[in-house]
Amino acid sequence: MNPPKRFLLANLAWSSEIAAREPDFFTQLAQGQQPRVLWIGCSDSRVPAERIINARPGELFVHRNIANLFAADDANASSVVEYAVHALEVEHIIVCGHHHCGGVRAALSAPSPALPLVNRRIAGLRELAARHRADLDAIDDMDARVDRLAELNVIEQVARLEASPILRDAKRRPQVHGWVFGLREGRLLQLHDAHNAAVAA
Protein backbone atom coordinates (compact mmCIF):
# COMPACT_ATOMS: atom_id res chain seq x y z
CA MET A 1 0.00 0.00 0.00
CA ASN A 2 1.37 3.41 -0.90
CA PRO A 3 2.02 5.85 1.98
CA PRO A 4 -0.90 8.24 1.31
CA LYS A 5 -3.39 5.34 1.29
CA ARG A 6 -1.88 3.93 4.44
CA PHE A 7 -1.99 7.35 6.15
CA LEU A 8 -5.68 7.87 5.31
CA LEU A 9 -6.54 4.49 6.80
CA ALA A 10 -4.41 5.23 9.86
CA ASN A 11 -6.23 8.55 10.30
CA LEU A 12 -9.58 6.76 10.20
CA ALA A 13 -8.44 4.35 12.91
CA TRP A 14 -6.93 7.16 15.04
CA SER A 15 -9.96 9.46 14.87
CA SER A 16 -12.40 6.61 15.56
CA GLU A 17 -10.38 5.47 18.55
CA ILE A 18 -10.27 8.96 20.10
CA ALA A 19 -13.94 9.62 19.37
CA ALA A 20 -14.85 6.35 21.10
CA ARG A 21 -12.76 7.18 24.15
CA GLU A 22 -13.48 10.92 24.35
CA PRO A 23 -16.69 11.77 22.50
CA ASP A 24 -16.21 15.57 22.93
CA PHE A 25 -12.57 15.68 21.82
CA PHE A 26 -12.99 16.84 18.23
CA THR A 27 -15.94 19.13 19.03
CA GLN A 28 -13.73 20.93 21.53
CA LEU A 29 -10.82 21.13 19.04
CA ALA A 30 -13.16 22.79 16.55
CA GLN A 31 -13.97 25.54 19.06
CA GLY A 32 -10.48 27.06 18.90
CA GLN A 33 -6.89 26.70 19.99
CA GLN A 34 -5.12 27.89 23.12
CA PRO A 35 -1.66 26.33 22.86
CA ARG A 36 0.76 27.48 25.55
CA VAL A 37 3.85 26.56 23.56
CA LEU A 38 5.38 27.49 20.20
CA TRP A 39 7.74 24.85 18.84
CA ILE A 40 10.39 25.77 16.28
CA GLY A 41 11.97 22.60 14.96
CA CYS A 42 13.67 21.03 11.96
CA SER A 43 11.69 19.61 9.01
CA ASP A 44 13.58 16.32 9.41
CA SER A 45 11.16 13.36 9.29
CA ARG A 46 12.87 11.81 12.30
CA VAL A 47 11.96 14.65 14.64
CA PRO A 48 8.15 14.81 14.69
CA ALA A 49 7.43 17.49 17.29
CA GLU A 50 4.23 16.18 18.86
CA ARG A 51 5.34 12.55 18.74
CA ILE A 52 8.60 12.91 20.64
CA ILE A 53 6.99 14.81 23.53
CA ASN A 54 3.67 13.02 23.46
CA ALA A 55 1.75 16.27 22.90
CA ARG A 56 -1.93 16.18 21.96
CA PRO A 57 -3.66 18.16 19.21
CA GLY A 58 -4.09 21.71 20.46
CA GLU A 59 -1.00 21.75 22.67
CA LEU A 60 1.70 22.93 20.28
CA PHE A 61 1.82 25.74 17.74
CA VAL A 62 4.48 24.52 15.31
CA HIS A 63 6.93 25.95 12.82
CA ARG A 64 9.43 23.61 11.17
CA ASN A 65 12.03 24.39 8.54
CA ILE A 66 15.43 23.11 7.50
CA ALA A 67 17.74 23.32 10.53
CA ASN A 68 15.17 25.08 12.80
CA LEU A 69 16.17 28.59 11.79
CA PHE A 70 14.62 31.85 12.92
CA ALA A 71 15.46 35.14 11.22
CA ALA A 72 13.59 38.43 11.49
CA ASP A 73 13.73 38.86 7.69
CA ASP A 74 12.20 35.42 7.10
CA ALA A 75 8.52 36.29 6.66
CA ASN A 76 7.41 32.72 7.19
CA ALA A 77 9.16 32.09 10.50
CA SER A 78 8.57 35.58 11.86
CA SER A 79 4.86 35.62 11.02
CA VAL A 80 4.48 32.35 12.93
CA VAL A 81 6.33 33.83 15.92
CA GLU A 82 4.32 37.07 15.70
CA TYR A 83 1.02 35.18 15.71
CA ALA A 84 2.12 32.88 18.52
CA VAL A 85 3.35 35.74 20.72
CA HIS A 86 0.84 38.52 19.99
CA ALA A 87 -2.35 36.60 19.15
CA LEU A 88 -2.05 33.26 20.95
CA GLU A 89 0.11 34.71 23.75
CA VAL A 90 2.10 31.52 24.20
CA GLU A 91 4.05 31.26 27.45
CA HIS A 92 6.98 29.28 26.06
CA ILE A 93 8.95 29.02 22.84
CA ILE A 94 10.97 25.85 22.38
CA VAL A 95 13.69 25.85 19.73
CA CYS A 96 14.50 22.21 19.09
CA GLY A 97 17.46 21.15 16.97
CA HIS A 98 18.69 17.61 16.56
CA HIS A 99 21.82 15.56 16.14
CA HIS A 100 22.58 14.20 12.62
CA CYS A 101 20.88 17.28 11.10
CA GLY A 102 21.28 17.28 7.30
CA GLY A 103 20.90 21.07 7.09
CA VAL A 104 23.68 21.55 9.61
CA ARG A 105 25.86 18.99 7.83
CA ALA A 106 25.32 20.85 4.55
CA ALA A 107 26.63 24.03 6.16
CA LEU A 108 29.90 22.21 6.91
CA SER A 109 30.20 20.95 3.32
CA ALA A 110 30.68 22.51 -0.11
CA PRO A 111 27.48 24.12 -1.46
CA SER A 112 25.44 21.78 -3.68
CA PRO A 113 24.74 23.36 -7.11
CA ALA A 114 21.51 21.35 -7.26
CA LEU A 115 20.13 23.06 -4.14
CA PRO A 116 20.43 26.83 -4.57
CA LEU A 117 17.48 27.64 -2.32
CA VAL A 118 18.75 25.44 0.49
CA ASN A 119 22.19 27.02 0.12
CA ARG A 120 20.67 30.45 0.55
CA ARG A 121 18.66 29.31 3.57
CA ILE A 122 21.69 27.94 5.39
CA ALA A 123 24.01 30.88 4.68
CA GLY A 124 23.61 31.99 8.30
CA LEU A 125 24.67 28.54 9.46
CA ARG A 126 27.88 28.80 7.43
CA GLU A 127 28.58 32.12 9.15
CA LEU A 128 27.89 30.54 12.53
CA ALA A 129 30.31 27.68 11.70
CA ALA A 130 32.95 30.24 10.67
CA ARG A 131 32.49 32.09 13.98
CA HIS A 132 33.09 28.83 15.90
CA ARG A 133 35.78 27.46 13.57
CA ALA A 134 38.35 26.77 16.31
CA ASP A 135 35.81 24.95 18.49
CA LEU A 136 34.56 22.87 15.53
CA ASP A 137 37.99 22.14 14.02
CA ALA A 138 39.06 20.66 17.37
CA ILE A 139 36.49 17.88 16.85
CA ASP A 140 37.95 15.21 14.54
CA ASP A 141 34.86 13.12 14.06
CA MET A 142 32.60 14.66 11.39
CA ASP A 143 29.37 13.37 12.98
CA ALA A 144 30.35 14.84 16.34
CA ARG A 145 31.23 18.12 14.63
CA VAL A 146 27.77 18.24 12.99
CA ASP A 147 26.15 17.54 16.37
CA ARG A 148 28.15 20.33 18.02
CA LEU A 149 27.17 22.83 15.33
CA ALA A 150 23.53 21.71 15.68
CA GLU A 151 23.80 22.61 19.40
CA LEU A 152 25.50 25.94 18.71
CA ASN A 153 22.76 26.64 16.19
CA VAL A 154 20.02 26.12 18.78
CA ILE A 155 21.73 28.57 21.12
CA GLU A 156 22.09 31.04 18.23
CA GLN A 157 18.39 30.82 17.31
CA VAL A 158 17.42 31.27 20.98
CA ALA A 159 19.55 34.44 21.08
CA ARG A 160 17.95 35.74 17.88
CA LEU A 161 14.48 35.17 19.28
CA GLU A 162 15.38 36.83 22.59
CA ALA A 163 16.62 39.88 20.65
CA SER A 164 13.72 40.10 18.21
CA PRO A 165 11.28 43.06 18.31
CA ILE A 166 8.40 40.56 18.37
CA LEU A 167 9.43 39.37 21.82
CA ARG A 168 10.58 42.78 22.95
CA ASP A 169 7.13 44.24 22.26
CA ALA A 170 5.21 41.32 23.74
CA LYS A 171 2.60 42.10 26.38
CA ARG A 172 3.67 38.97 28.18
CA ARG A 173 7.11 37.86 27.10
CA PRO A 174 7.37 34.10 26.58
CA GLN A 175 10.25 32.08 28.01
CA VAL A 176 12.59 30.74 25.35
CA HIS A 177 14.06 27.25 25.68
CA GLY A 178 16.76 25.58 23.59
CA TRP A 179 16.68 21.81 23.22
CA VAL A 180 18.45 19.25 21.06
CA PHE A 181 17.04 15.82 20.15
CA GLY A 182 19.49 12.94 20.25
CA LEU A 183 18.36 10.46 17.61
CA ARG A 184 20.36 7.55 19.00
CA GLU A 185 18.55 7.57 22.33
CA GLY A 186 15.38 9.41 21.39
CA ARG A 187 16.11 11.81 24.26
CA LEU A 188 15.83 15.57 24.50
CA LEU A 189 18.70 17.50 26.04
CA GLN A 190 18.25 21.02 27.43
CA LEU A 191 20.85 23.45 26.11
CA HIS A 192 19.23 26.68 27.22
CA ASP A 193 16.54 27.38 29.75
CA ALA A 194 14.92 30.76 30.29
CA HIS A 195 15.63 30.59 34.05
CA ASN A 196 18.96 28.89 33.86
CA ALA A 197 20.74 29.99 30.69
CA ALA A 198 23.13 27.59 28.97
CA VAL A 199 22.09 24.47 30.92
CA ALA A 200 24.48 22.05 29.29
CA ALA A 201 26.07 23.95 26.42
Query: In the annotation, is 96 catalytic?
Result: no
Query: In the annotation, is 101 catalytic?
Result: yes
Closest contact distance (angstroms) between CB of 131 and Co ion is 20
The two most distant CA atoms of the chain are separated, in Å, by 57
Helices assigned H by DSSP within 132-184: 133-137, 142-163, 165-168
Residues 6+ apart with CB under 8 A from 52: 181, 186, 188
Closest contact distance (angstroms) between CB of 88 and Co ion is 25
Sign of CA dihedral 100, 104, 108, 112: positive
| 49, amino acid identity | A
Q: Classify 58 in phi/psi space as left (phi over 0), alpha (psi -120 to 50) or beta.
A: left
Query: Which of residues 42 and 122 has its CB atom nearest to Co ion in the complex?
Result: 42
Query: Which of residues 16 and 112 has its CB atom nearest to Co ion in the complex?
Result: 112
Query: In the annotation, is 46 catalytic?
Result: yes
Closest contact distance (angstroms) between CB of 14 and Co ion is 26
Q: Which residues inside 20-59 make contact with Co ion, applying CB under 5 A? A: 42, 44
Query: Which of residues 44 and 156 has its CB atom nearest to Co ion in the complex?
Result: 44
146 interacts with Co ion by CB under 5 A: no
Q: Tell the burial category of 97 from Cβ atoms under 10 Å away from its Cβ (0-12, 13-18, 19+).
A: buried
Q: Which residues inside 86-115 make contact with Co ion, applying CB under 5 A? A: 101, 103
Query: In the annotation, is 177 catalytic?
Result: no
Closest contact distance (angstroms) between CB of 149 and Co ion is 11
Query: Which of residues 69 and 101 has its CB atom nearest to Co ion in the complex?
Result: 101
Q: State the CB neighbour count (10 A cutoff) for residue 121.
A: 19
Q: Which residues are the active-site residues?
A: 42, 44, 46, 98, 101
Q: Residues in the site for Co ion, rule: CB under 5 A?
A: 42, 44, 101, 103
